[in-house]
Structure 1
Amino acid sequence: MPHFPSFDGLPLHYDVVGEGTGDPLVVLPGGPGMDARYLGDLGGLSASRRLIRLDGRAAGRSGVPLDRTTVSFTRQADDVEALREHLGMERLDILAHSAGTLTAQEYAVRHRNRVRRLVLVTPIGRAGRDIDTAELAGIRAGRAAEPWYPHAAAALAEDVTNPITRARLIPFHWHRWTPERRHEYHPSHASRLPWLREAFYSGTATPGPVLAPVLVVAGASDGMIGIAPARVVAAAHPCSRLEIMTESGHRPWVEEPELFRALVTGFL
Protein backbone atom coordinates (compact mmCIF):
# COMPACT_ATOMS: atom_id res chain seq x y z
CA MET A 1 0.00 0.00 0.00
CA PRO A 2 1.63 3.31 -1.06
CA HIS A 3 2.36 5.91 1.57
CA PHE A 4 4.26 9.19 1.36
CA PRO A 5 5.44 11.70 3.97
CA SER A 6 3.46 14.94 4.02
CA PHE A 7 4.71 18.42 4.95
CA ASP A 8 5.15 17.48 8.61
CA GLY A 9 6.44 13.96 7.97
CA LEU A 10 3.08 12.29 8.69
CA PRO A 11 2.61 9.19 6.51
CA LEU A 12 -0.44 9.53 4.28
CA HIS A 13 -1.96 6.68 2.30
CA TYR A 14 -3.29 6.64 -1.22
CA ASP A 15 -4.32 3.93 -3.65
CA VAL A 16 -4.77 3.76 -7.41
CA VAL A 17 -7.98 2.39 -8.95
CA GLY A 18 -8.39 1.61 -12.63
CA GLU A 19 -6.19 1.51 -15.69
CA GLY A 20 -7.68 4.34 -17.71
CA THR A 21 -5.44 5.91 -20.31
CA GLY A 22 -6.38 9.51 -19.48
CA ASP A 23 -4.49 11.70 -17.04
CA PRO A 24 -4.77 10.54 -13.41
CA LEU A 25 -7.56 12.04 -11.33
CA VAL A 26 -6.77 12.85 -7.70
CA VAL A 27 -9.80 12.05 -5.53
CA LEU A 28 -10.49 13.56 -2.09
CA PRO A 29 -13.12 11.88 0.12
CA GLY A 30 -15.70 13.55 2.30
CA GLY A 31 -16.90 12.95 5.82
CA PRO A 32 -14.88 14.59 7.08
CA GLY A 33 -12.70 11.63 7.98
CA MET A 34 -14.08 9.00 5.62
CA ASP A 35 -11.89 6.21 4.27
CA ALA A 36 -11.52 6.84 0.53
CA ARG A 37 -12.62 3.30 -0.26
CA TYR A 38 -16.28 4.27 0.13
CA LEU A 39 -15.95 6.10 -3.20
CA GLY A 40 -15.36 2.83 -5.06
CA ASP A 41 -14.58 3.41 -8.73
CA LEU A 42 -16.91 6.43 -8.86
CA GLY A 43 -19.56 4.77 -10.95
CA GLY A 44 -17.10 3.30 -13.43
CA LEU A 45 -15.06 6.47 -13.91
CA SER A 46 -11.91 4.37 -13.44
CA ALA A 47 -12.46 2.91 -16.93
CA SER A 48 -11.21 6.16 -18.46
CA ARG A 49 -9.10 7.60 -15.63
CA ARG A 50 -6.74 6.20 -13.05
CA LEU A 51 -8.20 7.32 -9.73
CA ILE A 52 -5.67 8.32 -7.08
CA ARG A 53 -7.75 8.13 -3.90
CA LEU A 54 -6.15 9.95 -0.97
CA ASP A 55 -6.97 9.11 2.64
CA GLY A 56 -6.93 12.36 4.60
CA ARG A 57 -4.85 12.69 7.72
CA ALA A 58 -6.39 11.00 10.76
CA ALA A 59 -8.65 9.04 8.40
CA GLY A 60 -8.66 5.78 6.52
CA ARG A 61 -5.21 4.25 6.35
CA SER A 62 -3.30 7.49 6.89
CA GLY A 63 -1.49 8.48 10.07
CA VAL A 64 -2.94 10.47 12.97
CA PRO A 65 -0.95 13.64 13.74
CA LEU A 66 -0.02 14.72 17.25
CA ASP A 67 -0.92 18.28 16.30
CA ARG A 68 -4.69 18.21 15.77
CA THR A 69 -4.71 21.65 14.16
CA THR A 70 -3.11 20.11 11.07
CA VAL A 71 -6.35 18.21 10.40
CA SER A 72 -8.16 21.42 9.38
CA PHE A 73 -9.26 21.53 5.74
CA THR A 74 -6.87 24.42 5.14
CA ARG A 75 -3.85 22.45 6.33
CA GLN A 76 -4.97 19.37 4.41
CA ALA A 77 -4.55 21.44 1.26
CA ASP A 78 -0.84 21.19 2.06
CA ASP A 79 -1.23 17.40 1.98
CA VAL A 80 -2.55 17.64 -1.59
CA GLU A 81 0.52 19.63 -2.59
CA ALA A 82 2.74 17.03 -0.91
CA LEU A 83 0.96 14.32 -2.91
CA ARG A 84 1.50 16.25 -6.14
CA GLU A 85 5.20 16.53 -5.41
CA HIS A 86 5.37 12.84 -4.49
CA LEU A 87 3.71 11.87 -7.78
CA GLY A 88 5.96 14.20 -9.75
CA MET A 89 3.04 15.83 -11.56
CA GLU A 90 3.08 19.43 -12.74
CA ARG A 91 -0.70 19.93 -12.65
CA LEU A 92 -3.62 18.01 -11.22
CA ASP A 93 -7.18 17.21 -12.14
CA ILE A 94 -9.00 16.90 -8.81
CA LEU A 95 -12.38 15.44 -7.87
CA ALA A 96 -13.63 15.95 -4.32
CA HIS A 97 -16.78 14.86 -2.53
CA SER A 98 -18.78 16.61 0.19
CA ALA A 99 -16.50 17.91 2.99
CA GLY A 100 -13.46 17.16 0.84
CA THR A 101 -14.53 19.94 -1.51
CA LEU A 102 -13.40 22.49 1.09
CA THR A 103 -9.87 21.09 0.92
CA ALA A 104 -10.00 21.00 -2.89
CA GLN A 105 -11.13 24.63 -3.18
CA GLU A 106 -8.51 25.76 -0.68
CA TYR A 107 -5.81 24.00 -2.67
CA ALA A 108 -7.04 25.42 -5.98
CA VAL A 109 -7.08 28.99 -4.62
CA ARG A 110 -3.60 28.77 -3.12
CA HIS A 111 -1.99 26.75 -5.93
CA ARG A 112 -3.67 28.16 -9.01
CA ASN A 113 -0.94 27.07 -11.39
CA ARG A 114 -1.19 23.47 -10.18
CA VAL A 115 -4.87 22.76 -10.90
CA ARG A 116 -6.04 21.95 -14.44
CA ARG A 117 -9.69 21.19 -13.67
CA LEU A 118 -11.76 20.72 -10.53
CA VAL A 119 -14.85 18.55 -9.99
CA LEU A 120 -16.83 19.24 -6.81
CA VAL A 121 -19.46 16.60 -6.05
CA THR A 122 -22.26 17.55 -3.64
CA PRO A 123 -20.09 20.26 -2.06
CA ILE A 124 -20.98 21.55 1.39
CA GLY A 125 -20.05 25.16 0.67
CA ARG A 126 -17.28 27.58 -0.20
CA ALA A 127 -15.68 28.27 3.18
CA GLY A 128 -17.86 26.18 5.49
CA ARG A 129 -21.29 24.60 5.58
CA ASP A 130 -23.53 26.86 3.45
CA ILE A 131 -26.75 24.95 4.12
CA ASP A 132 -30.18 26.53 3.60
CA THR A 133 -32.16 24.99 6.46
CA ALA A 134 -35.54 25.84 4.91
CA GLU A 135 -34.61 24.24 1.60
CA LEU A 136 -33.25 21.17 3.37
CA ALA A 137 -36.41 20.83 5.45
CA GLY A 138 -38.46 20.98 2.25
CA ILE A 139 -36.43 18.23 0.58
CA ARG A 140 -36.86 16.01 3.61
CA ALA A 141 -40.59 16.74 3.93
CA GLY A 142 -41.00 15.66 0.32
CA ARG A 143 -40.26 12.10 1.42
CA ALA A 144 -43.06 12.00 4.01
CA ALA A 145 -45.05 9.35 2.13
CA GLU A 146 -42.23 6.82 2.21
CA PRO A 147 -42.40 4.00 4.79
CA TRP A 148 -39.07 4.78 6.43
CA TYR A 149 -39.86 8.47 6.93
CA PRO A 150 -41.40 8.49 10.47
CA HIS A 151 -38.41 6.65 11.94
CA ALA A 152 -35.89 8.89 10.16
CA ALA A 153 -37.79 12.14 10.83
CA ALA A 154 -37.95 11.39 14.55
CA ALA A 155 -34.14 11.24 14.60
CA LEU A 156 -33.96 14.87 13.41
CA ALA A 157 -34.94 15.99 16.92
CA GLU A 158 -32.24 13.87 18.57
CA ASP A 159 -28.48 14.25 19.06
CA VAL A 160 -27.07 14.04 15.54
CA THR A 161 -23.55 13.50 16.90
CA ASN A 162 -24.70 10.07 18.08
CA PRO A 163 -23.69 7.43 15.49
CA ILE A 164 -26.96 5.53 15.97
CA THR A 165 -28.97 8.68 15.32
CA ARG A 166 -26.92 9.49 12.22
CA ALA A 167 -27.56 5.98 10.91
CA ARG A 168 -31.32 6.56 11.16
CA LEU A 169 -30.93 9.67 8.99
CA ILE A 170 -29.20 7.85 6.14
CA PRO A 171 -32.35 7.35 4.01
CA PHE A 172 -32.53 11.13 3.57
CA HIS A 173 -29.20 10.99 1.73
CA TRP A 174 -30.67 9.07 -1.21
CA HIS A 175 -33.11 9.70 -4.03
CA ARG A 176 -34.38 6.15 -3.57
CA TRP A 177 -33.79 4.34 -0.29
CA THR A 178 -33.72 0.58 -0.78
CA PRO A 179 -32.28 -2.29 1.27
CA GLU A 180 -29.47 -2.56 -1.29
CA ARG A 181 -28.26 0.90 -0.33
CA ARG A 182 -27.30 -0.42 3.11
CA HIS A 183 -24.34 -2.15 1.45
CA GLU A 184 -22.86 1.28 0.71
CA TYR A 185 -22.07 1.76 4.39
CA HIS A 186 -19.20 0.10 6.23
CA PRO A 187 -18.59 1.12 9.87
CA SER A 188 -14.84 0.87 9.34
CA HIS A 189 -14.94 3.63 6.70
CA ALA A 190 -16.06 6.33 9.15
CA SER A 191 -13.65 7.96 11.58
CA ARG A 192 -14.09 7.13 15.24
CA LEU A 193 -12.00 10.07 16.44
CA PRO A 194 -14.43 12.32 18.36
CA TRP A 195 -12.33 15.44 17.78
CA LEU A 196 -11.78 15.10 14.02
CA ARG A 197 -14.91 16.88 12.80
CA GLU A 198 -14.32 20.00 14.89
CA ALA A 199 -10.63 20.05 13.94
CA PHE A 200 -11.43 19.75 10.23
CA TYR A 201 -13.81 22.71 10.20
CA SER A 202 -11.56 24.90 12.36
CA GLY A 203 -9.71 26.25 9.32
CA THR A 204 -10.36 29.64 7.74
CA ALA A 205 -10.55 29.53 3.96
CA THR A 206 -8.24 31.67 1.87
CA PRO A 207 -10.36 34.37 0.16
CA GLY A 208 -10.69 34.40 -3.59
CA PRO A 209 -12.11 32.33 -6.42
CA VAL A 210 -10.86 29.22 -8.15
CA LEU A 211 -9.73 30.34 -11.60
CA ALA A 212 -9.51 26.87 -13.15
CA PRO A 213 -12.62 25.37 -14.80
CA VAL A 214 -14.93 23.92 -12.14
CA LEU A 215 -17.73 21.38 -12.50
CA VAL A 216 -20.17 21.41 -9.56
CA VAL A 217 -22.45 18.37 -9.27
CA ALA A 218 -25.44 18.31 -6.92
CA GLY A 219 -28.20 15.79 -6.23
CA ALA A 220 -31.75 17.15 -6.33
CA SER A 221 -32.81 14.75 -3.55
CA ASP A 222 -29.83 15.37 -1.28
CA GLY A 223 -31.51 15.38 2.13
CA MET A 224 -28.14 15.59 3.86
CA ILE A 225 -27.12 19.10 2.75
CA GLY A 226 -29.56 20.18 0.04
CA ILE A 227 -28.69 21.99 -3.19
CA ALA A 228 -27.98 25.48 -1.83
CA PRO A 229 -24.30 24.76 -1.01
CA ALA A 230 -23.67 23.75 -4.62
CA ARG A 231 -25.21 27.00 -5.83
CA VAL A 232 -23.00 28.99 -3.44
CA VAL A 233 -19.91 27.17 -4.71
CA ALA A 234 -20.82 27.61 -8.38
CA ALA A 235 -21.42 31.33 -7.85
CA ALA A 236 -18.04 31.75 -6.12
CA HIS A 237 -15.91 30.64 -9.06
CA PRO A 238 -15.99 32.44 -12.44
CA CYS A 239 -15.33 29.40 -14.64
CA SER A 240 -17.86 27.10 -12.99
CA ARG A 241 -20.72 25.01 -14.30
CA LEU A 242 -23.51 23.61 -12.10
CA GLU A 243 -25.20 20.32 -12.90
CA ILE A 244 -28.10 19.08 -10.76
CA MET A 245 -28.77 15.36 -11.13
CA THR A 246 -32.51 14.91 -10.74
CA GLU A 247 -32.56 11.31 -9.52
CA SER A 248 -29.65 11.46 -7.10
CA GLY A 249 -28.97 12.31 -3.50
CA HIS A 250 -25.60 12.78 -1.80
CA ARG A 251 -23.79 10.04 -3.77
CA PRO A 252 -24.77 10.60 -7.41
CA TRP A 253 -22.12 8.24 -8.82
CA VAL A 254 -24.06 5.39 -7.17
CA GLU A 255 -27.60 6.39 -8.17
CA GLU A 256 -26.99 7.67 -11.71
CA PRO A 257 -23.61 6.23 -12.68
CA GLU A 258 -23.99 6.60 -16.45
CA LEU A 259 -24.95 10.27 -16.26
CA PHE A 260 -22.28 10.94 -13.64
CA ARG A 261 -19.58 9.38 -15.83
CA ALA A 262 -20.76 11.32 -18.87
CA LEU A 263 -20.72 14.65 -17.01
CA VAL A 264 -17.29 14.15 -15.48
CA THR A 265 -15.52 12.60 -18.45
CA GLY A 266 -16.96 15.22 -20.79
CA PHE A 267 -15.82 18.01 -18.49
CA LEU A 268 -12.33 16.60 -18.02
Structure 2
Amino acid sequence: MPTFSSYDGTTLAYHRLGEGRPLVCLPGGPAQASRHLGDLGGLSASRKLLLLDSRGSGDSAVPADPASYRCDRIVDDAEALRAHLGLDRMDLLAHSAGASVALLYATRFPHRLRRLVLVTPSLRLLLTAPLGMAEAHARRADEPWYAEATSAMEAWGEAMTRGADDTEISPLRLAAAPFWYGEWTERARAHAAEQEKDRAPAPAAGFYAGIDVDRAALRGALADVAVPTLVVAGALDAAPAPEAVDELTGILPKAELVMLPHSSHFPFVDEPEAFAAAVERFLAAG
Protein backbone atom coordinates (compact mmCIF):
# COMPACT_ATOMS: atom_id res chain seq x y z
CA MET A 1 0.00 0.00 0.00
CA PRO A 2 1.67 3.27 -1.11
CA THR A 3 1.70 6.34 1.13
CA PHE A 4 2.88 9.94 0.94
CA SER A 5 3.36 12.84 3.29
CA SER A 6 0.80 15.61 2.80
CA TYR A 7 1.31 19.35 3.23
CA ASP A 8 1.18 19.18 7.05
CA GLY A 9 3.19 15.99 7.45
CA THR A 10 0.17 13.67 7.81
CA THR A 11 0.82 10.29 6.18
CA LEU A 12 -1.93 9.49 3.70
CA ALA A 13 -2.53 6.19 1.93
CA TYR A 14 -3.80 5.46 -1.54
CA HIS A 15 -4.55 2.24 -3.36
CA ARG A 16 -3.63 1.20 -6.90
CA LEU A 17 -5.97 -0.86 -9.05
CA GLY A 18 -5.47 -1.73 -12.70
CA GLU A 19 -3.11 -0.52 -15.40
CA GLY A 20 -3.20 2.30 -17.90
CA ARG A 21 -3.38 6.06 -17.73
CA PRO A 22 -3.71 7.18 -14.09
CA LEU A 23 -7.04 8.34 -12.68
CA VAL A 24 -6.91 9.91 -9.21
CA CYS A 25 -10.08 9.11 -7.26
CA LEU A 26 -11.56 10.90 -4.25
CA PRO A 27 -14.10 8.95 -2.16
CA GLY A 28 -17.43 10.21 -0.88
CA GLY A 29 -18.98 9.68 2.49
CA PRO A 30 -17.79 12.18 3.54
CA ALA A 31 -14.54 10.67 4.79
CA GLN A 32 -15.40 7.19 3.54
CA ALA A 33 -12.57 4.73 3.03
CA SER A 34 -11.82 4.52 -0.69
CA ARG A 35 -12.58 0.79 -0.89
CA HIS A 36 -16.30 1.63 -1.25
CA LEU A 37 -15.45 2.69 -4.81
CA GLY A 38 -14.35 -0.87 -5.61
CA ASP A 39 -12.92 -0.95 -9.13
CA LEU A 40 -15.47 1.64 -10.28
CA GLY A 41 -17.60 -0.80 -12.20
CA GLY A 42 -14.63 -2.38 -13.97
CA LEU A 43 -12.91 0.88 -14.94
CA SER A 44 -9.63 -0.61 -13.69
CA ALA A 45 -9.57 -2.69 -16.89
CA SER A 46 -8.51 0.42 -18.82
CA ARG A 47 -7.23 2.84 -16.16
CA LYS A 48 -4.80 2.81 -13.28
CA LEU A 49 -7.06 3.86 -10.41
CA LEU A 50 -5.31 5.75 -7.60
CA LEU A 51 -7.83 5.74 -4.75
CA LEU A 52 -7.09 8.17 -1.92
CA ASP A 53 -8.07 7.39 1.67
CA SER A 54 -9.04 10.71 3.24
CA ARG A 55 -7.14 11.72 6.35
CA GLY A 56 -8.39 9.80 9.38
CA SER A 57 -10.16 7.17 7.27
CA GLY A 58 -9.19 3.87 5.71
CA ASP A 59 -5.43 3.38 5.89
CA SER A 60 -4.57 7.08 6.24
CA ALA A 61 -3.27 8.55 9.49
CA VAL A 62 -5.21 10.75 11.89
CA PRO A 63 -3.96 14.35 11.57
CA ALA A 64 -2.68 16.42 14.49
CA ASP A 65 -5.18 19.18 13.68
CA PRO A 66 -8.85 18.09 13.51
CA ALA A 67 -9.66 21.27 11.58
CA SER A 68 -7.79 19.74 8.64
CA TYR A 69 -10.70 17.34 8.10
CA ARG A 70 -12.61 20.18 6.45
CA CYS A 71 -13.19 19.80 2.72
CA ASP A 72 -11.44 23.03 1.73
CA ARG A 73 -8.31 21.82 3.56
CA ILE A 74 -8.51 18.39 1.90
CA VAL A 75 -8.00 20.21 -1.39
CA ASP A 76 -4.35 20.47 -0.33
CA ASP A 77 -4.20 16.69 0.17
CA ALA A 78 -5.36 16.19 -3.43
CA GLU A 79 -2.70 18.60 -4.64
CA ALA A 80 -0.04 16.89 -2.51
CA LEU A 81 -1.01 13.53 -4.06
CA ARG A 82 -0.74 14.96 -7.57
CA ALA A 83 2.73 16.28 -6.81
CA HIS A 84 3.74 12.98 -5.20
CA LEU A 85 2.65 11.11 -8.33
CA GLY A 86 4.68 13.46 -10.53
CA LEU A 87 1.69 14.37 -12.70
CA ASP A 88 1.81 17.79 -14.34
CA ARG A 89 -1.94 17.51 -14.96
CA MET A 90 -4.22 14.77 -13.72
CA ASP A 91 -7.53 13.18 -14.51
CA LEU A 92 -9.58 13.44 -11.31
CA LEU A 93 -12.71 11.50 -10.35
CA ALA A 94 -14.72 12.34 -7.25
CA HIS A 95 -17.77 10.62 -5.81
CA SER A 96 -20.52 12.26 -3.73
CA ALA A 97 -19.00 14.42 -0.95
CA GLY A 98 -15.62 14.05 -2.63
CA ALA A 99 -16.99 16.32 -5.35
CA SER A 100 -16.98 19.20 -2.84
CA VAL A 101 -13.21 18.77 -2.69
CA ALA A 102 -12.94 18.39 -6.45
CA LEU A 103 -14.97 21.53 -7.19
CA LEU A 104 -12.86 23.59 -4.81
CA TYR A 105 -9.72 22.04 -6.31
CA ALA A 106 -10.89 23.05 -9.79
CA THR A 107 -11.22 26.70 -8.72
CA ARG A 108 -7.73 26.74 -7.16
CA PHE A 109 -5.75 24.46 -9.47
CA PRO A 110 -7.51 24.34 -12.86
CA HIS A 111 -4.13 24.22 -14.59
CA ARG A 112 -3.44 20.89 -12.83
CA LEU A 113 -6.53 19.19 -14.25
CA ARG A 114 -6.79 17.48 -17.61
CA ARG A 115 -10.30 16.07 -17.18
CA LEU A 116 -12.72 15.99 -14.26
CA VAL A 117 -15.37 13.35 -13.49
CA LEU A 118 -18.02 14.08 -10.86
CA VAL A 119 -20.07 11.04 -9.84
CA THR A 120 -23.42 11.76 -8.11
CA PRO A 121 -21.77 14.92 -6.72
CA SER A 122 -22.72 16.55 -3.45
CA LEU A 123 -23.92 20.11 -4.07
CA ARG A 124 -23.87 21.20 -0.44
CA LEU A 125 -21.42 24.01 -1.20
CA LEU A 126 -23.62 25.37 -3.99
CA LEU A 127 -27.20 24.96 -2.75
CA THR A 128 -28.71 26.31 0.45
CA ALA A 129 -31.08 23.31 0.64
CA PRO A 130 -31.45 20.00 -1.20
CA LEU A 131 -33.24 20.42 -4.52
CA GLY A 132 -35.70 17.75 -5.64
CA MET A 133 -34.97 15.37 -2.73
CA ALA A 134 -38.56 14.96 -1.52
CA GLU A 135 -39.80 14.38 -5.05
CA ALA A 136 -37.07 11.81 -5.70
CA HIS A 137 -37.97 9.92 -2.53
CA ALA A 138 -41.67 9.99 -3.42
CA ARG A 139 -40.96 8.47 -6.83
CA ARG A 140 -39.89 5.28 -5.03
CA ALA A 141 -43.07 4.92 -2.98
CA ASP A 142 -43.95 1.58 -4.64
CA GLU A 143 -40.76 -0.11 -3.43
CA PRO A 144 -41.34 -2.82 -0.78
CA TRP A 145 -38.77 -1.22 1.54
CA TYR A 146 -40.16 2.32 1.19
CA ALA A 147 -42.07 2.65 4.48
CA GLU A 148 -39.26 1.28 6.65
CA ALA A 149 -36.56 3.28 4.88
CA THR A 150 -38.62 6.48 5.06
CA SER A 151 -39.16 6.02 8.79
CA ALA A 152 -35.41 5.46 9.26
CA MET A 153 -34.59 8.56 7.19
CA GLU A 154 -36.88 10.69 9.36
CA ALA A 155 -35.42 9.27 12.58
CA TRP A 156 -31.92 9.85 11.23
CA GLY A 157 -32.69 13.52 10.57
CA GLU A 158 -34.19 13.95 14.03
CA ALA A 159 -31.19 12.28 15.68
CA MET A 160 -28.76 14.54 13.81
CA THR A 161 -30.75 17.63 14.81
CA ARG A 162 -30.36 16.84 18.49
CA GLY A 163 -26.69 15.92 18.12
CA ALA A 164 -26.93 12.16 18.63
CA ASP A 165 -23.69 10.22 18.30
CA ASP A 166 -22.86 7.78 15.53
CA THR A 167 -23.76 4.76 17.65
CA GLU A 168 -27.41 5.81 17.39
CA ILE A 169 -27.26 7.15 13.85
CA SER A 170 -25.42 4.27 12.19
CA PRO A 171 -28.28 1.71 12.21
CA LEU A 172 -30.72 4.38 11.01
CA ARG A 173 -28.42 5.30 8.15
CA LEU A 174 -28.16 1.64 7.16
CA ALA A 175 -31.94 1.16 7.35
CA ALA A 176 -32.38 4.15 5.01
CA ALA A 177 -29.76 2.84 2.57
CA PRO A 178 -32.19 1.36 -0.02
CA PHE A 179 -32.83 4.90 -1.26
CA TRP A 180 -29.20 5.11 -2.42
CA TYR A 181 -29.34 2.10 -4.77
CA GLY A 182 -31.25 1.47 -7.96
CA GLU A 183 -32.30 -1.95 -6.68
CA TRP A 184 -32.03 -3.26 -3.13
CA THR A 185 -30.22 -6.44 -4.14
CA GLU A 186 -27.86 -8.63 -2.14
CA ARG A 187 -24.98 -6.80 -3.81
CA ALA A 188 -26.41 -3.45 -2.72
CA ARG A 189 -26.98 -4.73 0.83
CA ALA A 190 -23.38 -5.94 1.08
CA HIS A 191 -22.03 -2.65 -0.28
CA ALA A 192 -24.10 -0.62 2.20
CA ALA A 193 -23.03 -2.79 5.14
CA GLU A 194 -19.34 -2.52 4.21
CA GLN A 195 -19.66 1.25 3.90
CA GLU A 196 -21.10 1.47 7.39
CA LYS A 197 -18.18 -0.52 8.81
CA ASP A 198 -15.68 1.77 7.07
CA ARG A 199 -17.23 5.07 8.13
CA ALA A 200 -14.98 7.36 10.18
CA PRO A 201 -17.21 9.53 12.42
CA ALA A 202 -14.70 12.26 13.37
CA PRO A 203 -13.50 13.03 9.82
CA ALA A 204 -17.08 12.87 8.57
CA ALA A 205 -18.24 15.36 11.22
CA GLY A 206 -15.35 17.67 10.41
CA PHE A 207 -15.78 17.63 6.64
CA TYR A 208 -18.11 20.64 6.48
CA ALA A 209 -17.68 21.86 10.08
CA GLY A 210 -17.45 25.63 10.27
CA ILE A 211 -17.07 26.16 6.55
CA ASP A 212 -18.39 29.52 5.37
CA VAL A 213 -19.04 29.46 1.63
CA ASP A 214 -19.81 32.50 -0.47
CA ARG A 215 -22.02 30.58 -2.88
CA ALA A 216 -22.27 33.39 -5.43
CA ALA A 217 -18.47 33.70 -5.51
CA LEU A 218 -18.06 29.93 -5.84
CA ARG A 219 -20.52 29.81 -8.72
CA GLY A 220 -18.62 32.63 -10.40
CA ALA A 221 -15.30 30.87 -9.93
CA LEU A 222 -16.67 27.58 -11.31
CA ALA A 223 -18.08 29.41 -14.33
CA ASP A 224 -14.47 30.29 -15.20
CA VAL A 225 -13.22 26.69 -14.94
CA ALA A 226 -12.69 25.55 -18.53
CA VAL A 227 -11.80 21.96 -17.61
CA PRO A 228 -13.74 19.30 -19.56
CA THR A 229 -16.05 17.78 -16.97
CA LEU A 230 -18.28 14.71 -16.98
CA VAL A 231 -21.13 14.58 -14.47
CA VAL A 232 -22.48 11.06 -13.93
CA ALA A 233 -25.83 11.01 -12.17
CA GLY A 234 -28.47 8.46 -11.28
CA ALA A 235 -32.05 9.08 -12.35
CA LEU A 236 -33.23 7.53 -9.06
CA ASP A 237 -30.86 9.50 -6.83
CA ALA A 238 -32.22 11.98 -4.28
CA ALA A 239 -28.96 13.77 -3.46
CA PRO A 240 -28.30 15.01 -6.02
CA ALA A 241 -31.71 14.67 -7.63
CA PRO A 242 -31.83 15.25 -11.39
CA GLU A 243 -33.04 18.83 -10.84
CA ALA A 244 -29.97 19.59 -8.73
CA VAL A 245 -27.62 18.05 -11.29
CA ASP A 246 -29.03 20.46 -13.89
CA GLU A 247 -27.99 23.33 -11.61
CA LEU A 248 -24.38 22.14 -11.60
CA THR A 249 -24.11 21.43 -15.32
CA GLY A 250 -25.55 24.88 -15.97
CA ILE A 251 -22.65 26.46 -14.07
CA LEU A 252 -19.66 24.54 -15.44
CA PRO A 253 -18.88 25.81 -18.95
CA LYS A 254 -17.47 22.53 -20.33
CA ALA A 255 -19.70 20.02 -18.55
CA GLU A 256 -21.52 17.10 -20.08
CA LEU A 257 -24.07 14.93 -18.29
CA VAL A 258 -24.64 11.19 -18.33
CA MET A 259 -27.85 10.23 -16.52
CA LEU A 260 -28.01 6.49 -15.85
CA PRO A 261 -31.69 5.47 -15.77
CA HIS A 262 -31.53 2.56 -13.31
CA SER A 263 -29.03 4.06 -10.85
CA SER A 264 -29.26 5.95 -7.61
CA HIS A 265 -26.23 7.25 -5.66
CA PHE A 266 -23.82 4.45 -6.57
CA PRO A 267 -23.98 3.97 -10.36
CA PHE A 268 -20.79 1.93 -10.31
CA VAL A 269 -22.74 -0.60 -8.20
CA ASP A 270 -26.14 -0.26 -9.94
CA GLU A 271 -25.04 -0.13 -13.59
CA PRO A 272 -21.33 -0.96 -13.57
CA GLU A 273 -20.83 -1.64 -17.26
CA ALA A 274 -22.67 1.48 -18.40
CA PHE A 275 -20.88 3.57 -15.79
CA ALA A 276 -17.39 2.37 -16.73
CA ALA A 277 -18.09 2.75 -20.45
CA ALA A 278 -19.31 6.34 -20.03
CA VAL A 279 -16.30 7.37 -17.96
CA GLU A 280 -13.79 5.63 -20.25
CA ARG A 281 -15.34 7.23 -23.34
CA PHE A 282 -15.03 10.67 -21.76
CA LEU A 283 -11.46 10.19 -20.56
CA ALA A 284 -10.30 8.72 -23.86
CA ALA A 285 -11.71 11.67 -25.82
CA GLY A 286 -9.09 14.07 -24.43
Provide TM-score, normalisation by structure 1: 0.92
Instruction: Please say if 1:180 is aligned against 2:187.
Output: yes
Give the Å deviation of 1:169: 0.6
Q: Distance in 2 between matches of 1:118 and 1:204?
A: 24
Alignment of 1:179-198 (within 5 A): 179-185=186-192, 186=194, 187-193=196-202, 196-198=203-205
2:135 is matched with 138
Q: Distance in 1 between matches of 2:98 and 2:241?
A: 16
Q: Distance in 2 between matches of 1:14 and 1:2?
A: 6
Give the Å deviation of 1:181: 1.4
- Please, which of 32, 35, 39 is the counterpart of residue 34 of structure 1? 32
Secondary structure class of the residue paired with 2:40: coil
- Please, which of 126, 136, 146 is the counterpart of residue 149 of structure 1? 146
Secondary structure class of the residue paired with 1:32: coil
Give the Å deviation of 1:237: 1.1
Give the Å deviation of 1:204: 4.4
1:121 is matched with 119
1:92 is matched with 90
- Alpha carbons 1:131, 1:229 under 8 Å: kept: no
Letter in 2 for 1:99: A
Letter in 2 for 1:190: R
Give the Å deviation of 1:188: 2.9
| Alpha-carbon spacing, 1:129–1:66, altered in 2? closer, same or farther (3 Å) | farther
Secondary structure class of the residue paired with 1:188: helix
- Please, which of 229, 242, 266 is the counterpart of residue 251 of structure 1? 266
Q: Distance in 1 between matches of 2:145 and 2:234?
A: 20
1:63 is matched with 61
- Cα deviation 1:99-146 (Å, max 9, x = unaligned): 00010111111011100000000001172556535x211221222222
1:165 is matched with 172
* Structure 2: segments with no counterpart, 5+ residues: 161-168
Give the Å deviation of 1:171: 0.5
Residues matched between the structures, number: 263
Give the Å deviation of 1:156: 2.8
Secondary structure class of the residue paired with 1:80: helix
| Higher mean displacement: 98-107 or 149-158 | 149-158
| Alpha-carbon spacing, 1:130–1:2, altered in 2? closer, same or farther (3 Å) | farther
- Sequence identity percentage: 43
The answer to which structure has the higher helix fraction is 2
Q: Distance in 2 between matches of 1:198 and 1:189?
A: 14
Letter in 2 for 1:245: L
Instruction: Please say if 1:3 is aligned against 2:3.
Output: yes
2:280 is matched with 265
Q: Distance in 1 between matches of 2:128 and 2:48?
A: 31
Give the Å deviation of 1:229: 3.3
Provide TM-score, normalisation by structure 2: 0.87
| Higher mean displacement: 31-40 or 225-234 | 225-234
| Alpha-carbon spacing, 1:14–1:5, altered in 2? closer, same or farther (3 Å) | same
Give the Å deviation of 1:191: 1.1
Instruction: Please say if 1:203 is aligned against 2:201.
Output: no
- Alpha carbons 1:125, 1:131 under 8 Å: kept: no
CA root-mean-square deviation: 1.7
